[in-house]
């Protein structure tokens, strides 16, 4: 049996490979500490789970949901955007729940990309932006995110022939994997760019609520004109530790939302209703948990940065996201350094090249590791430094 070319040509999903490597080590009886996957270790807050359990008991929630989501959920999403960002959305036309942001991100190219069209995609970036484009028959054109530009893409440096074929522009701030943030000035330039070149903007923003030192990330939707040119994806995954429940949202431009609703209604039958009620509780309920989680991540971030700097690895504390984007030591590629850490001290980090070729020279370290694992992982990193020092001493 032969699978379709569109599948043959796809790279394996990054974390499938990493999970396989970890499983192989574990099968050999080796103990591995993983800083690889950005999946919150802290449980979903109990008031949200209680609502889920209650809703699961109601037979009305055992039936097919509507793919456009419960009106109460769309209302809760609009209410949350109003409270959090001062952005007013029409729950009927400017909001659609998605089965996790990943589902919406994978499907939106089907709405805008025809074979031969181009999507402008940040590099390094979340792999689904380019894979969704390829599955729709289009081609990604990569926009390098460089440290010297604060990991923002240079929109003035895209060739004219590419601009003519470009239908979508992907952006993601606070940024995964670099931890960079964007301000209103940058987003205003994006609106101007999108208008000039007739490109639809998809801003992926799962990390607006994971922020440190009092910093409050903004929404693309806060910027004048954003709604005319684009949509934003957000998710409950990281804000309320709900990665396993699979629920998120797309909001903004009504034409884009309507197109996504059309694709979704033909492909999925919505999010289980009990989960929709849990999401309503999360969005409307007490928000203290968000700061409590951020305090935990901030403490971990500081411990990781301190350890990395102490072993000669350059990394700046991110203002937001669950990740530290660390420079690999001289003489290593990203992959070599990640392999060395795994082989020498049983620590897993994600090579930056897993997010694109401009991720070379970096590794991503996730802060979603329980404290006991974190302490063990950090002491292993110190062990790696000692091994290297002994090796150097032997050579001289």
Ligand X SMILES: Cc1ncc(COP(=O)(O)O)c(C=O)c1O
Applying CB under 6 A, the residues found at the interface with ligand X are 38, 100-102, 126, 172, 176, 204, 206, 235, 237, 243, 248
Nearer to ligand X, 101 or 182 (CB): 101
**Closest distance to ligand X from the beta carbon of 308 (Å):** 21
**Closest distance to ligand X from the beta carbon of 38 (Å):** 5
Tell me the C-alpha distance between 280 and 118, whole Å.
36
- The tokens describing 121, both together, are 């995609």
Nearer to ligand X, 176 or 345 (CB): 176
> Tokens 């989960």 correspond to what residue?
275
The answer to whether the beta carbons of residues 173 and 180 sit under 8 Å apart is yes
Nearer to ligand X, 274 or 345 (CB): 274
Nearer to ligand X, 227 or 246 (CB): 246
If DSSP codes are grouped into helix, strand and coil, which group holds residue 90? coil
β 95-98/200-204 pair status:
unpaired
Nearer to ligand X, 44 or 381 (CB): 44
**Closest distance to ligand X from the beta carbon of 234 (Å):** 8
Strand order, beta sheet including 118-123: 95-98, 248-252, 230-235, 200-204, 166-171, 118-123, 139-144
* Beta carbons within 8 Å of 220's beta carbon, 6+ residues apart: 171, 173, 187, 190, 201, 203, 205, 226, 230, 232, 252
**Closest distance to ligand X from the beta carbon of 204 (Å):** 5
**Closest distance to ligand X from the beta carbon of 115 (Å):** 25
| CA 186 to chain CA mean position, Å | 20
Preceding amide of 174 cis, omega within 30: yes
Nearer to ligand X, 15 or 332 (CB): 15
Count of residues in the chain: 396
Helix, strand, coil percentages for the chain (3-state, nearest 5): 50, 15, 35
Nearer to ligand X, 85 or 240 (CB): 240
**Closest distance to ligand X from the beta carbon of 388 (Å):** 31
- The tokens describing 203, both together, are 């801003």
**Closest distance to ligand X from the beta carbon of 259 (Å):** 20
Nearer to ligand X, 105 or 118 (CB): 105
- The tokens describing 286, both together, are 């007490």
**Closest distance to ligand X from the beta carbon of 126 (Å):** 4
- The tokens describing 18, both together, are 């990493």
The answer to whether the beta carbons of residues 74 and 91 sit under 8 Å apart is yes
């Amino acid at each position: 049996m032969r699978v379709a070319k569109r599948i043959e040509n796809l790279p394996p999903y990054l974390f499938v490979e990493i999970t396989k490597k970890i499983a192989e080590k574990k099968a050999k009886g080796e103990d591995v500490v993983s800083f690889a996957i950005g999946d919150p270790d802290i449980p979903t807050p109990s008031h949200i789970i209680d609502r889920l359990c209650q809703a699961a008991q109601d037979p009305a929630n055992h039936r097919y949901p509507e793919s456009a989501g419960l009106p109460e959920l769309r209302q809760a999403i609009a209410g949350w955007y109003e409270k959090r960002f001062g952005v007013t959305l029409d729950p009927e036309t400017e909001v659609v729940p998605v089965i996790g942001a990943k589902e919406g991100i994978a499907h939106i190219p089907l709405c805008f990309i025809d074979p031969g069209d181009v999507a402008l995609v940040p590099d390094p970036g979340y792999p689904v932006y380019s894979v969704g484009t390829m599955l729709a028959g289009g081609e990604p054109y990569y926009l390098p995110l460089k440290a010297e530009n604060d990991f923002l893409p240079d929109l003035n440096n895209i060739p004219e022939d590419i601009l003519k074929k470009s239908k979508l522009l992907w952006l993601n701030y606070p940024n995964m994997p670099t931890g960079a943030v964007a301000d209103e000035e940058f987003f205003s330039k994006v609106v101007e760019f999108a208008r000039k070149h007739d490109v639809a903007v998809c801003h992926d923003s799962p990390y607006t609520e994971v922020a440190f030192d009092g910093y409050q990330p903004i929404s693309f939707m806060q910027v004048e004109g954003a709604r005319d040119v684009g949509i934003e994806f957000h998710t409950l995954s990281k804000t309320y530790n709900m990665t396993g429940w699979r629920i998120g949202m797309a909001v903004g431009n009504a034409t884009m939302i309507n197109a996504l609703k059309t694709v979704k209604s033909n492909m999925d039958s919505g999010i289980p209703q009990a989960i929709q009620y849990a999401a309503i509780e999360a969005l409307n309920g007490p928000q203290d948990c968000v700061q409590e989680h951020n305090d935990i991540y901030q403490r971990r971030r500081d411990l990781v940065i301190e350890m990395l700097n102490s072993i000669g690895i350059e990394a700046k504390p991110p203002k937001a996201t669950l990740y530290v984007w660390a420079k690999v030591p001289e003489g290593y590629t990203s992959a070599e350094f990640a392999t060395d850490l795994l082989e020498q001290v049983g620590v897993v980090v994600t090579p930056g090249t897993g997010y694109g070729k401009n991720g070379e020279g970096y590794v991503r370290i996730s802060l979603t590791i329980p404290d006991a694992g974190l302490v063990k992982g950090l002491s292993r990193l110190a062990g790696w430094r000692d091994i290297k020092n002994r090796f150097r001493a032997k050579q001289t």
